[in-house]
Structure 1
Amino acid sequence: MADTLITSEINFEADGKQSGYLRVPHSVDRSAYGWLPVPITVIRNGQGPTLVLSAGVHGDEYEGQIAVSELANNLQAREIRGRLILLPMLNLPAAQAGRRVSPIDEGNLNRLYPGDPKGTPTEMIAHYHEEVILPLADYAVELHSGGSSLIYPATLLRGPGHTPEEEAGLQTLTAAFDLPYAWVFTGGGGTKSTARTAMGAANRKGVVNVMAELGGGNAVTPEILAQTRRGLRRILHALGMLPDYVPDAPRDTRALHAKGLIYAYEPGLFEPLKEIGEPVAEGEIVASIHHPETPGRPPEKVASPFDGMVLAKRAMAPVRRGDAIYQIAAPVSEDD
């Protein structure tokens, strides 16, 4: 067992269904020997792969939290082959507060891996996830959204396969999730990854893993939640872990490369002139930044430095200099 101060109420090697908490030590005025209860469910039955499903890495991203907790509530051990580890609110303090970062230590969990076993609560969670949970896994799926500030369509994110076996696994997860878009990274990943993210942690541990961006705007989108529920069960079936599930026909996925972000350079109110999925030409005006506090001041016109399509859009009207207002992507070509 890795050096950690976190203790688990769950026996990862036991058959059956167990639900409980990862106890993250947290000493405060009201509770000298207290702990933060990170919820976890483990379902194990017979031989098969281990899949880790995590959500709530950022606390203001909700579709994943709902979908993972539903699986924890509804799946029974007799339905499963292998081991399923479910973490619906991995950064529990952030999730309880509905914030991207933890209100306890301002920790952004997805920027703190590999963490610190004796650090802040968020650093301890990152370390436990990377050093205790991910080494148990063959596959991992991490569920995000645009959070409070951005909105994404249902989009899978995956890196390159560094071996034929990894590429085959990535293709299986991508095809099974069957989301409308797949954002494909052209580099990085692998066991030598230095990324401070959960995806980087999974890569370092040799786990075949994908991520997803699922809505955002500090809300739940019913259509995207339905796509998420469907996709997770399709993944379980494709890995041989949910044998009695009958998947419907695939809807196909459009593969994309991200080209870049468009930023506000003046504070004001953001008026979007492009919607998600719409085409964008380089130099095209995609937004106006308005200044109602200054009579007679005209709005700034924001031009796109890229051509492609809108993959993500800012959810909030108020902007400051440096706020991302769009992300632009382009279809993967046959030469990529």
Structure 2
Amino acid sequence: MSTPTRIWTPIDFNRDGKQAGSLRLPISTDLSAYGWIPIPVVCIKNGSGPTAVLIAGTHGDEYEGQVALLELARTIEASAITGRIIILPALNFPAVEAGRRVSPIDEGNLNRVYPGEAHGSATQMIAHYVTSVLLPMADLVVDLHSGGRSLDYTPCALIRPSVDKQLNDRLMELMRVFGAPISYITDGKGGGGNTTLPAAAEQFGVSVITAELGGGATLRAYGKELARSAVLRLLHHIGVRSDGTLPQPLETRVMEVPGRDFFLYAESDGLFEPSVMPGDEVTAGQHAGYLHSIERPMEPPLSLIFSASGLVACRRFPTLTKRGDCLFSLMRDVEKGART
């Protein structure tokens, strides 16, 4: 991270008070040779103390976290905190503006390009800024997601396990403070692996807690409220904001996604008819749904079968499906996994 970021901002992260503005992502196009794209940012600071970085809009079609952070940005005042809160409700702004998972500028998936590149594509530059500027300032990062257009998630929190015992213990405690009904531990091998924000943050010893809050490219009220209350509990827990009126977190069920057997993929194109929903418990060999062929109307639908037992973390949201699409992801209890 020795190469300086190309993104700049008029926000002074070391100044007390409440500032709202933007990070400025340089862009050069036919109609704007020396232009920049605004990435909204709010910095709230009062004296010395921990720094919390609150992120939503890593994927542009995930809305519960975006709305929750917009509400918190408007309501939290500097006089009510000790330390610093940096809020980025639309981190991948080009994707947010387009309502897409990936950026329309470079087709970049922001949570698959960390640690980024200073002189890379637009999405790589955003990841590089987070890694080189924000992570060194942070004591806690909260990254709020949902399933977007393609998935519907049961609301849950997740952490990436760390070989550093102290960091791992902090992450487990933060997961419990977050208070989602389900929490799971994942190294990201089913998705981004070492190219995700939590993987980049581990190099700095920074705690990152992520959440999945709904999906279907819509706004789920429960997911938004979980995000808002969980963030406030976390701010109270690390000492940035004191609030004795917050509800206690629910007891969370700690789970894991141990391998590829816990994903069910489409083996052909078709119309997806699920037989179970997120949050349902299933067993290996259980019927999962059907894939109906569009091109061969007289052909019986393909019956889908789960290859593992567990809780349905998410299911595919669109009905129209292509071969290779993820249809379901399962989780299992950590305690059960340890026994086996």
What's the counterpart of residue 335 of structure 2?
333
Structure 2 distance, partners of 1:267, 1:163, is 43
Letter matched to residue 83 of structure 2:
G
Aligned pair partner of 2:324 in 311, 322, 325: 322
Q: What is the one-letter code of the residue matched to 2:253?
A: R
Q: TM-score, normalised by structure 2?
A: 0.93
Establish whether residue 29 from structure 1 lines up as the match of residue 40 from structure 2. Answer: no
Aligned residue identity for 1:305: S
1:281-333 deviations in Å (ceiling 9; x for gaps): 11111110112442311100011111112111111101111000000111121
Contact 1:160–1:187 (CA under 8 A) maintained in structure 2 = no
- Distance of 1:263 and 1:295 partners within structure 2: 22
Q: Distance in 2 between matches of 1:113 and 1:163?
A: 20
Shift of 1:171: 3.0
Aligned residue type for 1:29 = D
Question: 1:177-213 deviations in whole A, cap 9, x for unaligned?
Answer: 100110113799xxxx981111111112210111111
Question: In the alignment, residue 128 of structure 2 is paired with which amino acid?
Answer: H
Match of 1:281 among 266, 283, 304: 283
User: C-alpha displacement at 1:248, in angstroms?
Assistant: 1.3
Residue pairs, 1:91-130, within 5 angstroms: 91-130=92-131
* Deviation >4 Å, runs of 4+: none
The residue type paired with residue 272 of structure 1 is: P
Q: Distance in 2 between matches of 1:210 and 1:234?
A: 13
* Deviations 1:124-175 (CA, angstroms, capped at 9, x unpaired): 1111110111111111111111111001111111122434432342133212
1:243 paired with 2:245, answer no
Aligned partner of residue 133 in structure 1, secondary structure: helix
Change (3 A) 1:300 1:202: same
Match of 1:46 in 2: 47
Q: 1:273 to 1:32 in 2, by over 3 A?
A: same
Tell me what 1:206 maps to: 205
Structure 1 partner of 2:67:
66
Q: Work out whether residues 233 and 245 of structure 1, in 8 Å CA contact, stay in contact via their aligned partners in 2.
A: no
- In 1, distance between residues paired with 2:255 and 2:41? 33
Structure 2 partner of 1:258: 257
Q: How many residue pairs align between the two structures?
A: 332
1:2 Cα deviation from its structure 2 partner: 5.3
2:306 pairs with 1:290: no
Query: How far 1:20 sits from its partner (Å)?
Result: 0.7
Per-residue deviation, 1:278: 1.4
Whether the aligned pair in 1 keeps the contact of 2:160 and 2:198 (CA below 8 Å) is no
Amino acid at match of 1:252: E
Quick one: percent identity of the two aligned structures?
43
Q: Which sits farther off after the overlay, 86-95 or 326-335?
A: 326-335
Taking a change above 3 Å as real, the CA distance of residues 98 and 335 of structure 1, as seen in their structure-2 partners, is: closer
> SS at 1:21's partner residue?
strand
Paired residue secondary structure (1:132): helix
Q: Secondary structure at the match of 2:318?
A: coil
State the alpha-carbon separation in 1 of the partners of residues 77 and 154 from structure 2: 31
Label 1:333 to 1:15 Cα distance change in 2 as closer, same or farther (>3 A). same
> TM (normalized to structure 1)?
0.94
Q: Decide which moves more: 156-165 or 70-79.
A: 156-165
Q: Deviations over 1:211-268 (max 9, x none)?
A: 1111111111111111111111111111111113522133211111114210111111
Taking the TM superposition and a 5 Å limit, the aligned residue runs for 1:137-148 are 137-148=138-149
Question: Match of 1:72, as an amino acid?
Answer: A
* Cα pair distance change 1:245/1:199, threshold 3 Å: same
Which secondary structure state, in structure 1, belongs to the residue aligned with residue 264 of structure 2?
A: strand
Distance 2:212 2:218 in 1: 13
Aligned residue number for residue 219 of structure 2: 220
1:223–1:40 CA distance, 2 compared to 1 (3 A): same
Between the aligned partners of 1:282 and 1:236, the Cα distance in structure 2 is: 40
How well do the aligned residues superpose, as a CA RMSD in angstroms?
Answer: 1.8
Match of 2:184 in 1: 183
Structure 1 residues not aligned, in runs of 5+: none
* 1:60 aligned counterpart, secondary structure: coil
SS in 2 for 1:42: strand
- The one-letter code of the counterpart of 1:199 is P
Q: Provide the secondary structure at the position in 2 that maps to 1:242.
A: coil
The alpha carbon displacement at 1:73 in A equals: 1.4
